[in-house]
Structure 1
């Protein structure tokens, strides 16, 4: 006999500048920040990493004894790595004084490790049990890159902390997490005077972080229903680090023009970069900031940077974010009323961001909301929407091998029982906190007589609630190997039923061992974590499963063994 219980997991936001982790015990209240007070990490844990030469190990981020790795980086800047998520696609980077290239996934995992160590220290402070399951958040612009998402997940799941394995039980886009936290807070937790009274409420989330920009449209339809992600998008290379670099270049220009000074080495350059970060933060609350760097023989000179000059310098970057925001607003103009624009992410604190958004919002309220905590808080609440099956004889709350139940969209005719893939990955149910939908059309490749390129037949539409399963279709292979090639449309507004493979995005080729010249029933599912699961039922009734997560894990292992 099986029963269900919700998953206990931490909400984990591994940011490019700061990381935050939280835990929800009472669904009627806010999640709790899991960063011990004695470390004074109200803005989050700094995520700059120091990679120790020459072996590249240990990777230091934060510890109770040493504090932030930024102190080490100040002494040896060439061994530091900032904004790690912006470098994940590189996989490996060459760094000075290292014997071999450094795995970016290992650096990303080290940040997660230190966040979880802090979280479990705080759990102990609160007399709560240890917890190593997490809901992971990611930039919206990563949604289309399955290999990248699974690389992030699998890098973290290699961790062992205090003898415990780390498990990513769910993942969701960062702006969607912000919306979950904001909407729930405003509907249920906020003071009565500002609490939302209407059931239907749509927010546009503008999330400008340290390394990436995200925008999403999320709707609350009814207090008893899950929130719905209507649209999401992002820019993977615009954020606070760009503003830091722009300020650094301006400081260097002023020092050169006024004092003919150029930083002579990496340590001096790092010192000026830190000044640039300080100036950026200071200009959030002040109209000017002063810099007094050490120049020459202990001579200190002063330069000033005004907020207006800073805003002038970064305007072209901010315009990119506004154009994407305006595009989303225009797309849904007349279709869906936007009730509020919610700012999140550290870089959204800059006054110019709100000012520029108010110009295009056409009277819609624009408000800054928990720029440090909202992503993590939303992820912690999302965790409460994940079901876990408990088999007879298991104790609730005790970690046991289990699979997450699968609940399909009612409009889909095929329902699958809870199951595990050959590599043991769990298949997740539809989340009770947040509903997401297919953004593309998905199809399979089929050979066409007289057409060497073949054709992609789309079998799953846009706008279907995740997890979304296709109808069953029959395939026959002339050999003992059946290859199923899954594609998706390039654009999000695809209207055709067929397309040439060159006009589609190839996701994966899945291979099954099957009887020759016999029909097999096949369907595939787009899961909530964006993985693709393919189910192949053989003539004898047995069923095989393949997943993009399995394939990517296999490829990653081959890379590591090479």
Structure 2
């Protein structure tokens, strides 16, 4: 069977389409919502993931627990992040792989109950709308990491943007063709927006017109509420020295209050700290919405950016997905901005994974073009070059522009700036739809790909060579360079690193 996996900031889940009945089955154990995206390591117990790891978030081993790895895949320089847990180093690939293995093991164990054979033949992974090439590759490689290296050993046949997956799920359930929808996906760590149309007249059944992402999500709402609870505790009870365990208890209370305020006007946070005292703080929905107003406005700004780039017809409805879209303030803000449009909260917790499963049934990993889903480049991709032959000013010469239909490919001729046998081709991602971008500084513009081209012998300045850049249907980057003498160089984003054993 083919499955879709939504590797989420807070929870991860998998689903497949029942080919006999056509419905989508979300795999879960009895009474479970999904697999918590939580990782734990201890010298005595080894690696634990999911619920077993989450249990240790509220005890003495809280500092050995990793949450929200999806938001921390990269280090400060744009490479693969790593962290030391109880004396052992783990890369973000390894941590993500362990969580995905928990999801895959769940599918294998429970799918026979739903009429499947328990064998996973291919996987489509959902990713945030504007994840970088490196972030997407980390998740892809984590899913592919073999079992002997601590991973699930899955065959990844495709990637799909999270709001696009939700749109596919909406269209599939409503059969509402020739409709243009805006998907607002507020998850645990990101808010992803996309405008998708169901229109087969232009060569693809579904067309992604534009997409955006704001790096804030439900966890940021939790942060605001956690800070408020601490402030209120200290205002009412005086200064409180908080241990890491205390903070985990307050955090858990904040998360519970957030969900309770979706259905009521007042909720009470209750927790016992290491001083053995019991604390109770009442929070009104109005206060919660006041605390998080700026976060909501950041997501609305992303909506405005998407709407500004949509040409050729208006959006006809808004679909809200992602667990955090259950907060009443989300629907209210969208209705205020778009009073004439229906705003639908469509199975927010399952929309993305169901859409990924639907796409998995139609995804052809060997096809160059995608007649089922036409997507666009979320960013611009270019190489570092000198502005002119007589200039020392460096620019990013964008070969693939933001918004280009995927797969996109461009060939361009460049010339050596100085005498050398080697030239290093550095590829950058930028959020600008322009022919050339400025290089601001080395920290903000880390190269996502570097390829060294060897002429074989030293050649003079002005010697020409060609560069072909390709962004495939999954939004992953490949580069090739060659000259008239037959020298070639190729490259794509790769991640090195060893696995680990349980």
**Are the aligned partners of 1:440 and 1:490 in contact in 2 as well (CA < 8 Å)?**
yes
**Are the aligned partners of 1:160 and 1:166 in contact in 2 as well (CA < 8 Å)?**
no
Q: How far 1:533 sits from its partner (Å)?
A: 2.2
Per the alignment, residue 251 of structure 2 pairs with 273
Moved more, 158-167 or 128-137: 158-167
**Are the aligned partners of 2:12 and 2:35 in contact in 1 as well (CA < 8 Å)?**
yes
* TM-score in terms of structure 1 length: 0.76
Per the alignment, residue 433 of structure 1 pairs with 372
Per the alignment, residue 364 of structure 2 pairs with 387
**Are the aligned partners of 2:163 and 2:352 in contact in 1 as well (CA < 8 Å)?**
yes
Per the alignment, residue 28 of structure 2 pairs with 35
Per the alignment, residue 336 of structure 2 pairs with 359
1:225 aligned onto 2:204: yes
Q: How far 1:472 sits from its partner (Å)?
A: 7.0
**Are the aligned partners of 1:482 and 1:514 in contact in 2 as well (CA < 8 Å)?**
yes
Task: Give the alignment partner of residue 346 of structure 2, picking from 366, 369, 374.
Answer: 369
Q: Given the superposition, is the C-alpha separation of residues 526 and 493 from structure 1 closer, same or farther in structure 2, using an over 3 Å criterion?
A: same
Q: Given the superposition, is the C-alpha separation of residues 274 and 218 from structure 1 closer, same or farther in structure 2, using an over 3 Å criterion?
A: same
Per the alignment, residue 531 of structure 1 pairs with 476
Per the alignment, residue 289 of structure 1 pairs with 267
Task: Give the alignment partner of residue 143 of structure 2, picking from 156, 177, 180.
Answer: 156
Give unmatched runs, 5+ long, in structure 2. Answer: none
1:138 aligned onto 2:131: no
Moved more, 447-456 or 433-442: 447-456
Task: Give the alignment partner of residue 291 of structure 2, picking from 306, 313, 319.
Answer: 313
Instruction: Please tell me the root mean square deviation across aligned C-alpha atoms, in Å.
Output: 3.5
**Are the aligned partners of 1:468 and 1:525 in contact in 2 as well (CA < 8 Å)?**
yes
**Are the aligned partners of 2:184 and 2:193 in contact in 1 as well (CA < 8 Å)?**
yes
Give unmatched runs, 5+ long, in structure 1. Answer: 1-7, 188-195, 389-403, 406-428
Task: Give the alignment partner of residue 159 of structure 2, picking from 157, 171, 179.
Answer: 171
Match runs of 1:355-504 below 5 Å: 355-388=332-365, 404-405=366-367, 429-439=368-378, 442-443=381-382, 448-453=388-393, 458-471=398-411, 483=423, 485=425, 487=427, 490-494=430-434, 496=435
1:510 aligned onto 2:451: yes
Q: How far 1:297 sits from its partner (Å)?
A: 8.4
Per the alignment, residue 491 of structure 2 pairs with 547
1:112 aligned onto 2:112: no
Q: Distance in 2 between matches of 1:222 and 1:318?
A: 34
Q: Distance in 2 between matches of 1:113 and 1:136?
A: 13
Per the alignment, residue 394 of structure 1 pairs with none
* TM-score in terms of structure 2 length: 0.84
Deviation digits for residues 210-265 of structure 1, max 9, x if unmatched? 111111111112388331111111122x1111222222222223332333372643
Q: Given the superposition, is the C-alpha separation of residues 446 and 249 from structure 1 closer, same or farther in structure 2, using an over 3 Å criterion?
A: closer
SS at 1:451 equivalent: coil
Deviation digits for residues 289-337 of structure 1, max 9, x if unmatched? 12443479866554322111111111121111112212322343x6431
**Are the aligned partners of 1:202 and 1:337 in contact in 2 as well (CA < 8 Å)?**
yes
Q: Distance in 2 between matches of 1:12 and 1:475?
A: 44
Q: Given the superposition, is the C-alpha separation of residues 325 and 435 from structure 1 closer, same or farther in structure 2, using an over 3 Å criterion?
A: same
